Amino acid sequence: MTIKELLGKRIKELRVVKKLTQAQLAELVGIDPKHQSCIENGRNFPSADLLDKFAKVFEVDVCELLKIEQNRSRIYLEEKINKLIKKCSDAELKTVYRVLTSILE
């Protein structure tokens, strides 16, 4: 995965935590929503000034904003797991429950 893709995922992750849409975040930092989408999808790399604006909106230090890693944050993983669980049939949900219970107990 490229640095642009990793940073885009990090910005999306922080946006989701703040419960902002792409359009809302784009407005807060003063860019076009299409540009925001391109940043989050790893097609564009934000300027240093834009990184500073993102950090201010997310209320984090720029260094924290740039903490890109292969491992997902807990919140991001919980959201993904919840989406998957909502798609489960009753039988699949019971299986997921048994597996989680056996791992965690």
State whether 34 and 59 are in the same domain: yes
State whether 42 and 10 are in the same domain: yes
Question: What pLDDT is recorded for position 72?
Answer: 60
Spell out the per-residue pLDDT of the chain, length 105, in tens.
788 988 999 999 899 999 999 999 999 999 999 999 999 999 999 999 999 999 999 999 998 888 876 556 677 778 888 889 999 999 999 999 999 899 988
State whether 13 and 40 are in the same domain: yes
State whether 53 and 88 are in the same domain: no
Helix 3-17 crosses helix 74-87 at what angle (to 10 degrees)?
80
- Confidence (pTM): 0.65
Q: How far is CA 45 from CA 35, 42, 86, in A?
A: 10, 7, 34
Domain that holds residue 97: 74-104
Question: What pLDDT is recorded for position 29?
Answer: 98
State whether 54 and 15 are in the same domain: yes
What dihedral angle (degrees, nearest 10) is formed by the CA atoms of 35, 42, 76, 58? -50
How many domains are contained in the chain? 2
Kindly state the tokens that stand for 60.
């984090």
Output the domain CATH number for residue 9: 1.10.260.40
